[in-house]
A and B are shown apart, each in its own frame.
Chain A
C-alpha cells in the first residue's frame, strides 16, 4: 500500500491546441481532505476528470493506489459532480438503489446504505419523493449521496456547496468531515468558497492556467504570503485607488498593497500599529476615506495574491 492514494505524474491536457492542464504533478494522501482551488477556467474540473478516469490525459499518467488509472476497479472512486446529475422521474431511494446496482453492490447492503445515506443527509422523509419535487438543497445532498452509495475510498466533490444556503452548507461540511474522520475516506474538494476550503482541507492545491501554483496546508499558505493582518480601505473617490496604492507601498513593514474588489488591500505585520501612519499618509495626499476595516489574513487573500484579480471566464 502506497502513502499516496492518488498521484498525477506530469499530466497535460490539450484541446485543439489550448492547454487546459499543463504538467500537473501532485500526490494526494490517503485519508485527507484535499482542497483544489483555482479561478474559473484554471483547469480544476479537467484535472479532476482525468483523475477519476472520465478524460484521457494528452500526456502523463494518473495512478490510483499505485495502479495505473486504466486498470482501476471502478468502485474505488465516487464523484459528486458540480452540476446536479439526477434522474428527475425517479425517487431518492430509487436513484440510490439504481447506483448501488450499477456498482454491483449486493441488494441487502445497498438497502442498508441507502437508509444510512438518506438519514445522514436528512433525506429520510423524502425517500419516496420524485427528484423533480425536491428543493435545491435536497437535490444537492442527493447528488452527493449518489456518489457514495457504493462506499468508495476516494470521494471527489466538485463544488458541492454551490447554491446551498448557510444551514445546508454546514450540514454538508459536517458530513465531509465525517467522511474523513469516521470512514477514513480521501476527499478531493474543489470549491470557490475559500472559507470552505480553509475549514475543511488538510492541504490545498492552488492552480491557475493549468499549472500548480502552490500545494500546502491552509495555515502554511497563509504564512507564506505573510502572517499578519489585512486592512481594506474604501475611498470616496475610487479613481484615486492607483495613486493611494503607490503611496502606501512606501510605509515600512507593509508587505503588499493592491486593488481588490474596488478597495485598497494592504497586508502587513502588526498593521494596527501602522494605522495612524496610514491615515496620515492619506490625509497628506488629500484622500477621503469612505470606510476602513481590518481583519486577519485569509486563504482568499492568498488566492487573490497568487491568481490576481482579473476576471476569468
Chain B
C-alpha cells in the first residue's frame, strides 16, 4: 500500500506548510467576496424581469360558493402586481401573455427571461387544494383527499442565461408563497378568523415576497465562481507536483519501487481533503456575503458532493499540467493558461458559443461543465438528487478518464527513464 504512505507524506507536508495551506484554502474566498460585493446587489436597483405567461387554464367551480374562477388568470394578475420587498413601486416582472410557440421564439432570442406555462387543470388543482384544506381543517382525522388533482406549472428558460436563473428563483418563491397563502386563508376561513373571505384570499392579495429583496445576480453567478475556484486548484496541484520534480525528491522516489499510480493516487487523497475544506469554506463565505440558494440543507449537501467531484477532476488536471511544466512557476503560468479558458468554456461566468465535436458539445467533455450544471440545478433551481444524478455521474466518469490521462502523461514524462 505504497500509495497510502505517499498520501500520508503529502498530507503532512500540506498541513505543516501553514502559509501554503492558508493560501490554498483562502484564495478562492477572495473571488467569492469580490463577486459577492460586485453582483450581490449592494446599492443596486431592483431589476424587472420579462416574463411570458402561456395560460392553458380552464376555469373551475368552488363547491363552497359555486363561483367559477380561472385561477390561471388569477396567478397571472398576481405576478403582474408582485413587487420587491421594501419598494412597493418596483415590480418584479414585466408580464406578457402569449402563445407557447411565440414564447419559445422570444426565449431563444433572449427577448424574455422566462416562460411560465399554466396547465389546463391548474384551476381544478387549486380547487382540490382548497377542498382538501377545508376537509383537513374541519375534520383533522380525515387527512386523505379522495380525489387529488395535481397540476404542474412549467418554468421554462435558458439555464445558461443569468436572467433566467434570477427570475425563476423569484418565481419559485412567489408560487410557493401563493400556495401557502391559499392554504392559510382557507384554514382561517373554516375556523372563522376575522377578516378572511372565500374569494379574496385566492385572488391576489399581493404582499412583497420575503427574501426576494436580496435575490441578486450573485445568486446565479455563485455556482460558476465556485467552479472557477475549484478549477484553480489544478494550478496549485500542478505547482506542488512540479516542485517535487524540481527538488529532486521525485527522482529519489523514482529509483524506488514506487509506481505512478502510488504517487498520483496517493497524492490525490490529501488533495481531496483540501477540496472538501475548500468547498465548505466557499459555501460558508458565499452565504455570508449574501448567497440565497433554493432547496435548503439538502441542496448544500448535494452541492458539496458535486463540488468534491469537480475538485478531484481539477487534481487530475493538475497532474496533466505537471507532466508538461518544468518548474513550479511554469506550472502556475501554464495552470492559469489552461484553467481560465476552461472556466469560460464550461460557462462559469457566461456561456460561450459551443463547439460541436462528434455530434457532442465540446464542453460536455469537461467534467466541470457537469459540476456546474449540478450546482446550478440544486442551488438555483432547488433540484434534488434525481435532478443532478446524471450530471454527477457524467462528472465522475470524466474525472476518472482525466485521472487516467494524467497518470499516463505524468508517468511517461516524469517517472520513466530519462532519454
Contact = CB atoms under 8 A, between A and B. Distances in A.
Interface residues of A, number: 28
Contacts of B249: 85-87
Interface in A141-190: 146, 150
Interface residues of B, number: 22
Most buried by B among A75, A87, A90: A87
A85 B244 CA distance: 10
B253 A56 contact: no
Interface string A224-262: 000000000000000000000000000000000000000
Nearest to A86: B249
Interface in A71-126: 74-75, 77, 79, 81, 83, 85-87, 89-90, 94, 97-99, 101-104
Interface string B377-419: 0000000000000000000000000000000000000000111
B191 interface: no
A98 B256 CA distance: 11
B274 to A, nearest CB: 15
Contacts of A55: 417-419
Given A81-B252, A85-B251, A90 B9 contact: yes
A54 B251 contact: yes
Nearest to B18: A89
A161 B417 CA distance: 27
A66 interface: no
Nearest to B254: A54
Interface string A32-72: 00000000000000000100111110000000000000000
A108 to B, nearest CB: 16
Contacts of B254: 54
Contacts of B253: 102
Most buried by A among B17, B256, B262: B256
Contacts of A104: 2, 257
Contact of B256 (A74, A81, A86, A87): A74
A79 B252 CA distance: 8
B258 interface: yes
B9 A94 contact: yes
Interface in B1-27: 2, 5, 9, 12-13, 16-17
A130 interface: yes
B2 A54 contact: no
A102 B251 contact: no
A77 B417 CA distance: 15
Contacts of A97: 5
Contacts of A79: 252, 255
B86 interface: no
A86 B250 CA distance: 10
Contacts of B13: 87, 89-90
B12 A81 contact: no
B151 to A, nearest CB: 62
B12 A89 contact: yes
A87 B13 CA distance: 8
Contacts of A101: 2, 5
A98 B5 CA distance: 6
Contact of A75 (B12, B257, B262, B417): B257
Contacts of A87: 9, 13, 249
Contacts of A83: 248
A89 B16 contact: yes
A79 B249 CA distance: 12
A46 to B, nearest CB: 10
Contact of B12 (A54, A86, A90): A90
A74 B252 contact: no
Contacts of B258: 102
Nearest to B417: A56
Nearest to B4: A101
8 contacts: A55-B417, A81-B251, A85-B247, A102-B253, A102-B256, A102-B257, A130-B16, A150-B256
| A-B residue pairs, 8 tightest by C-beta | A102-B256, A101-B5, A85-B248, A89-B16, A89-B13, A102-B258, A56-B417, A55-B418
